[in-house]
Amino acid sequence: MDGQPEAASIPSLKGIRIMEKLFTKKQLAEMLQISIRTVDRRIESLNLPVFKVGRLVRIPESSFQLMMKLSNVNHLNDKDNE
C-alpha cells in the first residue's frame, strides 16, 4: 500500500449530472411570477426530483424544464376540456 486509494474505493459518478444549475423555490417563483406555495404544489403534484439538505430545497434545471413541459401539457389539456 503506497497511500493511494484502491480503484474499488473510489465512488463512481456514472449517471450524475455534474454542474447542473440549481434553483431555490424563491428563484423559480420570481422567474415564473407565481407564489412559493404554487412552486411547492407543482413539485408535489408533478413528483419532480429535488435535492433536500435538511430544510433546504434545491431544484435542478432539468426538473424546472420538466415542470415547464408538463405544465404546458396540462394547460393544453385543460383548454381541450373546455
Domain of residue 28, CATH code: 1.10.1660
Q: Are 31 and 16 in contact (CB under 8 A)?
A: no
Grid cell at residue 29: 417563483
Assigned domain for 48 exists: yes
Assigned domain for 50 exists: yes
In sign, the C-alpha dihedral spanning 40, 23, 74, 35 is positive
Give dist(CA 26, CA 36) in Å, integer: 6
pLDDT tens for residues 67-81?
Answer: 999 887 665 555 555
pLDDT tens for residues 1-43?
Answer: 555 544 444 444 555 556 789 999 999 999 999 999 999 999 9
pTM of this structure: 0.65
Structural domain containing residue 36: 20-80
Nearest CA to 57 among 44, 69, 70? 44
Domain total of the chain = 1
Residue 21, H or E segment: none
